[in-house]
Amino acid sequence: MKTSTPVTADQFERLAASIGSCELVKGELVAMSPGGVEHSRIVTNFVLHLGTWASKSKGGRVLSGEAGVIVGRDPDTVRGADVLYISYKRLPKGQKWSGFLTQRPELIVEVLGLKDTWADMETKLAEYRGFGVDLVWIGDPQTQTVRVHPRGGKPATFHGDDELSSPKLLPGFRCKAKEFFEE
């Protein structure tokens, strides 16, 4: 939705519940369509695997459901992450918080939806990198692969029995790529 004056993250936060599923990109509201059953199932798999690990490791929390992350200012950009992990070091346990996330998570996971393009994902990836997110995983239901983009490192693609891990950011987490796509 084109507006005459850019919308700020604060304004967007107040409006978000009443305007439906959207993101704020450089001050402009961008409508999002629901992800569909396949997208939701795969997002749930990421949440289950990462959430189980986070619960056992007690080092942080996993958020999902298009968790709002402010990735840019002036003009403001708020992205809805499919899944993210943020440590208690960055967002302390027990601290009351509300609204959009302003701290950078260690990991953001995006799952390609039916209408998403790789160009869309590259844009989000650049925003996440600019914000300082350490690791971005992009799940592709078509190829059943996970593209791993470490900040400052080379991307890699994982599929089948390839095991995803990140000892420094996600100590003890290990999961085969195919497990994110299984029924």
Pick the closest to residue 142 from 125, 156, 154, 159 (CA basis).
159
Say how many CA atoms lie within 13 Å of 1 toward its Cβ: 13
What is 35-180's CATH topology?
tt1808, chain A (3.90.1570)
| Domain limits, the chain | 35-180
Which pLDDT score is estimated for 181? 97
pLDDT tens sequence across 16-36: 778 878 889 999 999 887 778
- pLDDT at residue number 85: 98
pTM more than 0.85: yes
Q: What is the pLDDT of residues 143-156, one digit of tens each?
A: 999 999 999 999 99
* Contact (CB, 8 A) for 156 and 148: yes
Q: What is the pLDDT of residues 61-75, one digit of tens each?
A: 999 988 899 999 999
